[in-house]
């Protein structure tokens, strides 16, 4: 490029306050090859863009540099303007003199000198730039939803209702997630199962949804519009196509006393089971670790009683590969359950609470099961140790949450509300009982939430004590709870029959491993990161992957459902087009110099590099060289830095461009 135009932006005063923009424009004008330079108040405004377009025409510019904010902000804007002026958009670059300069330095001389340098470097980049043609790739209009909690269910139903096929992959034997376990839900106290189970059935019956339960993501390849996902179907030991869901096997299984995960270990289930009566699908699964047949080879009762002959002890894990264009991650949360510091975890436990050793100290989800009509006590609040009705119940909020010294500094968001709900449910069920709540604050920012909390305190007689609990221990059949009331400034001691801990909401175990398969980022707790905290709350930085629900951060049901529908809308936007334009920053091989060592192939994480045979006219193999599939190439450039013969090059980041920039240092 020999006729480059440089446009220096004031950004109102954001840049010009610390950077002498006129000087920068002047210095730019003196760089050889720069045919035009100027400064302007707001380059991104309509008149600013018009100025750029006019200058391109008038001065016959063949490359453009806009020195302004971060390219992450306005690169698209200016590339579009350049394109409208007849330039290849990739010959337009931005020099970041705002985020990287005027906003972070106060000394005017030094900031101006730095801005000039940045412009000088970027002029070289423009000079060595090449026209690139956008790559269009087809979009596979099928979506994958990972996780079948309320988030995944909502997203799947929305996308499926829009007419696109959805593959839902759920790790457990049934969909439903945590919401299926809840008794009644704040802030309206409607029965969770009553609003949840119809949606689960909708998923199962939807003609556009393929449901894989008891399945996991094995491998993810490809990119936006074109993912290939390998799904592992764990052996259920029951053939789903034959099973009628009659449940005879479950009633006949001799092994009946296995703690039921769905009831937080407080109910019992057989070795062949569905997690709960309304499970979707209602096909049982054999828990092989607890099955006599699998452990000792003797039994086989379920196979004998099963009419359609669905029980299959020989079943193996199977794999399918699904082509999808978009992925919604909705893997939800788990509850903090540790009573001591697990090995290798930065998160400290609560040994001093006796959680895990004293049976009548339970967590919030267990309380949900006790309060649930379908739970192990049929909805009666009975304590685990002796089945008696507790008359004094202590609820403790923020266990694990907002405790920096214990390793979690965030607020779990739902505990204030569900604890208020628990005190109400308790009061409705045990009229002569008394609920106490230890809390730091009551956080109730949601529609109807504060009113709900007030009701718990003012009408349902829960006693709220502002303060924390320091210690708990068993005395006779009571639990002595020692804490402080910081409002009154005294120590409190309560003899409780039952203690309920509002334990922190944490990401699922293995959330990081799934993220690594998907190539999405996560924070230090393993919650998945959205692309922008405010403006892109459902997109991942990785194109084509969206987030819904508690896997992104603690969330209640209304927020989860909203985010899930938003993720679905993003998927539908993507599917509205048949073809997708992607950034042409991809690697290309110089076949003349490639020596066929395939070092590049080994380091390419995308599997974009193929072996290509070069033959002479007689068809004899001359040599093998590397070939980059531009649809698959992610554009990282690792191959280029690896190639010993420098025969592979990433468009947009060529050695020539980078070296020219370094020369200009």
Partner 1 sequence: MHAEHIKHDFEPKIVAFVCTWCTYAGADLAGTSRMQYPSNVRVLKFPCTGRIDPVFILRAFQKGADGVLVSGCHPGDCHYMAGNFHARRRFAAFRALLSFVGVDLNRLQFSWVSAAEGGKWVDVVTELTERVRTMGPMPEFKELEHEEQWSTFAGASVDKSTVLNSPELKEAYDSIG
Sites of contact with partner 1 (CB under 8 A): 70-72, 96, 98-101, 103-107, 110-111, 113-114, 117-118, 121, 512, 516, 519, 521-523, 529, 541-542, 585, 593, 603, 605-606, 634-638, 640-642, 645-646, 650, 652-653, 655-656, 658-659, 661-663, 665
Closer by beta carbon to ligand FAD, 255 or else 421 = 421
Q: State the Cα–Cα distance between residues 320 and 80, nearest whole angstrom.
A: 42
| 556 interacts with ligand FAD by CB under 6 A | yes
Q: Are 83 and 132 in contact, with CB atoms under 8 Å apart?
A: no
Looking at the DSSP bridge assignments, the partners of residue 479 are: 474, 496
Q: Are 585 and 653 in contact, with CB atoms under 8 Å apart?
A: yes
Residue nearest to ligand SF4 (CB): 302
Residues in Cβ contact with 531 at an 8 Å cutoff, skipping those fewer than 6 apart: 539, 540, 541
| 371 interacts with ligand FAD by CB under 6 A | no
Interface residue with ligand FAD, options 331, 423, 640, 657 (CB under 6 A): 331
For every residue of 15-36, DSSP letters joined together read TTTTS-HHHHHHHHHTSTTEEE
Residue 113 binding target from ligand FAD, partner 1, ligand SF4, none, CB below 5 to 8 Å by type = partner 1
Interface residue with ligand FAD, options 418, 426, 527, 546 (CB under 6 A): 418
| 365 interacts with ligand FAD by CB under 6 A | yes
Q: Please, what is the minimum distance in Å from the beta carbon of residue 166 to ligand FAD?
A: 14
State CA 414 to chain mean position distance: 19
Residue 70 binding target from partner 1, ligand FAD, ligand SF4, none, CB below 5 to 8 Å by type = partner 1
| 89 interacts with ligand FAD by CB under 6 A | no
Interface residue with ligand FAD, options 169, 302, 310, 633 (CB under 6 A): 169
Q: State the Cα–Cα distance between residues 158 and 658, nearest whole angstrom.
A: 46
Q: Please, what is the minimum distance in Å from the beta carbon of residue 422 to ligand SF4?
A: 36
Q: State the Cα–Cα distance between residues 463 and 45, nearest whole angstrom.
A: 58
Beta-carbon count within 10 A of 441 CB: 11
Pick the piece of the chain touching ligand FAD (CB under 6 A) from 4-12, 263-271, 330-338, 386-394. 330-338
| 550 interacts with ligand FAD by CB under 6 A | yes
Measuring CA to CA, how many Å separate 287 from each of 235, 238, 260, 273, 496? 10, 11, 11, 8, 37
Q: State the Cα–Cα distance between residues 314 and 297, nearest whole angstrom.
A: 12
Q: Please, what is the minimum distance in Å from the beta carbon of residue 588 to ligand SF4?
A: 10
Closer by beta carbon to partner 1, 143 or else 639 = 639
Measuring CA to CA, how many Å separate 63 from each of 26, 122, 384, 585, 600? 18, 11, 74, 18, 32
Residue 300 binding target from partner 1, ligand FAD, ligand SF4, none, CB below 5 to 8 Å by type = ligand SF4
Q: Are 557 and 563 in contact, with CB atoms under 8 Å apart?
A: no
Residue 648 binding target from ligand SF4, partner 1, ligand FAD, none, CB below 5 to 8 Å by type = ligand SF4
Where does this chain bind ligand SF4 (CB under 6 A)? Answer: 253, 255, 271-272, 286, 291-293, 299-302, 589, 594-600, 625-626, 643, 645, 647-648
Beta-carbon count within 10 A of 491 CB: 11
Pick the piece of the chain touching ligand FAD (CB under 6 A) from 27-35, 144-152, 432-440, 577-585. 144-152
Measuring CA to CA, how many Å separate 184 from each of 343, 360, 370, 531? 36, 22, 11, 34
Pseudo-torsion of CA 640, 77, 50, 136, nearest 10°?
A: 70
Q: Please, what is the minimum distance in Å from the beta carbon of residue 267 to ligand SF4?
A: 17
Interface residues with ligand FAD (CB under 6 A) are 146-152, 169-172, 177-179, 182, 185-186, 216-217, 330-333, 335, 364-365, 368, 414, 418, 421, 508, 514, 549-550, 555-558, 560
């Amino acid at each position: 490029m020999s006729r480059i135009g440089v446009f220096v932006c004031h950004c109102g005063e954001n840049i010009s306050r610390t950077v002498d923009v006129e000087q920068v424009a002047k210095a730019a004008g003196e760089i050889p090859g720069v045919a035009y330079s100027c400064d302007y108040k707001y380059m991104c405004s309509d008149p600013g863009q018009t100025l750029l377009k006019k200058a391109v025409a008038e001065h016959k510019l063949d490359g453009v540099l806009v020195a302004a904010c971060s390219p992450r902000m306005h690169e698209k804007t200016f590339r579009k303007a350049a394109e409208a002026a007849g330039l290849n958009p990739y010959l337009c670059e931005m020099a970041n003199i705002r985020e990287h300069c005027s906003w972070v330095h106060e000394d005017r001389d030094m900031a101006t000198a730095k801005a000039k340098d940045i412009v000088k470097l970027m002029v070289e980049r423009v000079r060595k730039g090449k026209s690139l043609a956008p790559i269009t790739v087809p979009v596979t209009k099928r979506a994958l939803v990972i996780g079948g909690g309320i988030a995944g269910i909502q997203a799947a139903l929305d996308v499926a209702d829009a007419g696109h096929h959805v593959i839902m992959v759920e790790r457990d034997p049934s969909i439903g997630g945590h919401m299926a376990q809840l008794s009644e839900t704040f802030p309206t106290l409607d029965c969770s199962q009553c609003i949840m189970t119809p949606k689960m059935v909708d998923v199962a019956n939807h003609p556009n949804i393929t449901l894989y339960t008891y399945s996991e993501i094995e491998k993810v390849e490809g990119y936006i519009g074109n993912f290939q996902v390998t799904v592992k179907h764990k052996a259920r030991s029951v053939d789903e196509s034959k099973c009628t869901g009659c449940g005879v096997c479950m009633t006949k299984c001799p092994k009946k006393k296995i703690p039921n995960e769905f009831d937080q270990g407080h109910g019992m289930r057989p070795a062949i089971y569905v997690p709960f009566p309304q499970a979707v699908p209602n096909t049982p699964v054999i828990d092989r670790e607890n099955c006599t047949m699998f452990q000792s080879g003797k039994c086989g009762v379920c196979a004998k009683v099963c009419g359609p002959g669905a029980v299959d002890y020989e079943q193996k894990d199977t794999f399918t590969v699904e082509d999808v264009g978009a992925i919604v991650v909705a893997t939800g949360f788990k509850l903090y359950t540790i009573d001591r510091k697990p090995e290798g975890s930065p998160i400290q436990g609560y040994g001093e609470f006796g959680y895990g050793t004293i049976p009548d100290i339970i967590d919030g989800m267990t309380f949900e099961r006790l309060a649930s009509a379908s739970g192990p006590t049929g909805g009666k609040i009975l304590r685990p140790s002796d089945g008696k009705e507790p008359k004094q119940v202590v609820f403790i909020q923020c266990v694990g949450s907002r405790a920096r010294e214990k390793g979690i500094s965030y607020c779990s968001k739902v505990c204030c509300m569900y604890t208020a709900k628990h005190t109400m449910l308790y009061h409705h069920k045990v009229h002569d009982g008394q609920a106490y709540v230890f809390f730091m604050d009551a956080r109730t920012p949601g529609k109807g939430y504060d009113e709900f909390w007030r009701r718990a305190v003012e009408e349902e007689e829960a006693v709220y004590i502002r303060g924390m609990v320091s210690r708990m221990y068993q005395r006779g059949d009571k639990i002595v709870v020692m804490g402080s009331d910081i409002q009154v400034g005294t120590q409190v001691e309560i003899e409780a029959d039952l203690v309920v801990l509002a334990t922190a909401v944490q990401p699922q175990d293995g959330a990081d491993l799934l993220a690594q398969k998907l190539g999405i980022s996560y924070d230090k707790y393993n919650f998945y990161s959205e692309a922008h905290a405010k403006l892109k709350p459902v997109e991942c930085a990785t194109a084509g992957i969206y987030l819904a629900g508690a896997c992104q951060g603690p969330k209640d049901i209304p927020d989860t459902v909203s985010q899930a529908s938003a993720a679905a809308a993003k998927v539908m936007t993507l599917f509205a087009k048949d073809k997708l334009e992607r950034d042409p920053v991809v690697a290309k091989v110089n076949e003349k110099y490639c020596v066929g060592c395939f070092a590049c192939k080994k380091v390419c994480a995308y599997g974009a590099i193929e072996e290509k045979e070069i033959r002479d006219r007689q068809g004899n193999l001359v040599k093998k060289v590397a070939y980059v599939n531009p649809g698959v190439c992610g554009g990282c450039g690792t191959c280029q830095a690896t190639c010993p013969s420098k025969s592979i090059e990433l468009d947009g980041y060529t050695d020539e461009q980078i070296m020219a920039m370094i020369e200009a240092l």
